[in-house]
Amino acid sequence: MELRIACIPGDGIGPEIIAEARKVLDKTADIYGHKIHYTDVLLGGASIDVHGVPLTEEAIHTIRQSAAVLMGSIGGDAAVSPWYRLAPQLRPEAGLLALRKALDLFANLRPAILYEELADACPLKENIIGGGFDIMIIRELTGGLYFGERKTETENGVRKALDTLVYDEKEIRRVAVKAFDIAMKRRRKVTSVDKANVLDSSRLWRAVTEEVAKDYPEVVLEHMLVDNCAMQLVRNPAQFDVILTENMFGDILSDEASMVTGSIGMLASASLNDSRFGLYEPSHGSAPDIAGQDIANPIATVLSAAMMLRYSFDLDREADSIEDAVKTVLKDGFRTGDIISADKTQVGCSRMGDLLAERIACKI
Ligand code: IPM
Ligand code: MG
């Protein structure tokens, strides 16, 4: 099969982790007889440095010619980077938001899994983690507060800022359908998270989610208020299967869930639209403080590449091979600095990529 992939190395550790994901993808393609065509695309700070803007029309055009996008990370250290002296709509993050909107990537899948081999890194007590947990957070990604009207003005000498949170029922329905479809392939439970005791947008969210649930009688739907959910994630994470929520709640809760696994450097993500097209990136950020030192953990990006093979190209066996390689490398005792523990072997980013590529095996 021919795979057309747009690659966004981005900023900070992005280029390093993308290089390792490509190593692993190339080895997988070799073994299974596929041909990958990569096209590099600039986004975020890397695009600002060359074009003065975080996303160009040309970049969107190139991405549209591809079947999927593999992304590293974007953004820098706001305290020191010149990118953050630009107007808000010209900063790196604005490029990513605009790209999500342009491609209509409304469903953001963020798995938060406790890896058995890394249970030591989990900050929760053993009696809480018990048999581990495997949560799929589905965050609405192109609506709500991050895309509503916003402005800052001065009225009678008083500064005032406004952000608007708008959802229509179609936006809620399509992401809810994705969440229920995914729950059907998992443990058949959806926890829809909102703030329906205060917000109108949440009350509509709840009503539409209930309508969608009628088409999925085998899936249990429960509603949970966002503040309670933040607490339940550290009190009893194993109660969750699929968490469905709006844009800002999902942004916050997915960071919390990933930290609860103790290994944010391990967590992948997929952003999907209504076709097979998707953008795949690690859940972590660009970590400018460790960029260029060959110490970043490339596993989240490698696992994002596996999600890409699964969701955009329907290559389940190939994706399984990559996920198995990750488990084997951990069993073999190799760790990057972020997940190191006593009696394990510490390796850098590039060596980790080599070790993973070596472990890709054919699953026929
Ligand atoms: C994320 C990030 C982005 C978001 C930023 C970089 C705009 O935090 O992907 O979670 O808020 O969506
Ligand atoms: Mg975030």
Average per-residue pLDDT for the chain? 96
CA atoms within 13 A on the CB side of 313: 27
> What backbone phi and psi angles, to 5 degrees, belong to 6?
-85, 135
Give the number of the ligand closest to the Cα of residue 110.
1
Q: Does domain 1-106+271-364 have CATH number 3.40.50.10190?
A: no
Task: Check residue 202 and give its pLDDT.
Answer: 98
Task: Check residue 5 and give its pLDDT.
Answer: 98
Query: How much of the chain, in percent, has pLDDT values that exceed 90?
Result: 92
Alpha helices (runs of H) in 236-315, residue ranges in sequence order: 247-261, 299-311
Point out the least confidently predicted range of 92-106, 112-126, 244-258: 112-126
CA of 364 to the centre of ligand 1 (A): 38
Residue 364 has pLDDT above 80, yes or no: no
Task: Check residue 287 and give its pLDDT.
Answer: 97
Rounded-to-integer distance, Cα 237 and Cα 299, Å: 23
Burial class (CB in 10 A: 0-12, 13-18, 19+), 352: buried
Residue 354 has pLDDT above 80, yes or no: yes
Residue 205 has pLDDT above 80, yes or no: yes
Instruction: For residue 97, give the ligand 1 atom closest to its CA.
Output: 7
Rounded-to-integer distance, Cα 166 and Cα 247, Å: 11
Task: Check residue 264 and give its pLDDT.
Answer: 84
Q: What pLDDT band is residue 85 in, cutting at 50, 70 and 90?
A: very high
Q: Does domain 123-260 have CATH number 3.40.718.10?
A: yes
What is the residue with the minimal CA distance to atom 7 of ligand 1?
93
* CA 296 centroid distance within chain: 17
Model pLDDT for residues 161-190, shown as the tens digit of each residue: 999 999 999 999 999 999 999 999 999 999
Best of 97, 106, 245 for a ligand 1 pocket test (most atoms within 8 Å of beta carbon):
97
Model pLDDT for residues 9-62, shown as the tens digit of each residue: 999 999 999 999 999 999 999 999 999 999 999 999 999 999 999 999 999 999
According to DSSP, the residues that pair with 92 across neighbouring strands are none
What is the residue with the minimal CA distance to atom 5 of ligand 1?
93
Q: What pLDDT band is residue 132 in, cutting at 50, 70 and 90?
A: confident
Instruction: Identify the residue whose tokens are 């229509």.
Output: 168
CA of 191 to the centre of ligand 1 (A): 22
CA of 128 to the centre of ligand 1 (A): 29
- 35 flagged as catalytic: no
Task: Check residue 223 and give its pLDDT.
Answer: 98
Model pLDDT for residues 268-289, shown as the tens digit of each residue: 999 999 999 999 999 999 999 9
Please tell me if the CB atom of residue 96 comes closer than 6 angstroms to any atom of ligand 1.
Answer: yes
- 274 flagged as catalytic: no
Q: What pLDDT band is residue 109 in, cutting at 50, 70 and 90?
A: very high
SS3 category, 130: coil
Rounded-to-integer distance, Cα 253 and Cα 324, Å: 27
Instruction: Identify the residue whose tokens are 């009350």.
Output: 203
SS3 category, 1: coil
Q: Which amino acid is at 87?
A: A
Q: Are strands 150-155 and 158-163 parallel, antiparallel or unpaired?
A: antiparallel
Do residues 113 and 267 make contact, with C-beta atoms less than 8 angstroms apart? yes
Do residues 350 and 16 make contact, with C-beta atoms less than 8 angstroms apart? yes
Domain with CATH 3.40.718.10 in the chain: 1-106+271-364, 123-260
What is the residue with the minimal CA distance to atom 6 of ligand 1?
93
Task: Check residue 8 and give its pLDDT.
Answer: 98
CA of 30 to the centre of ligand 1 (A): 34
- 255 flagged as catalytic: yes
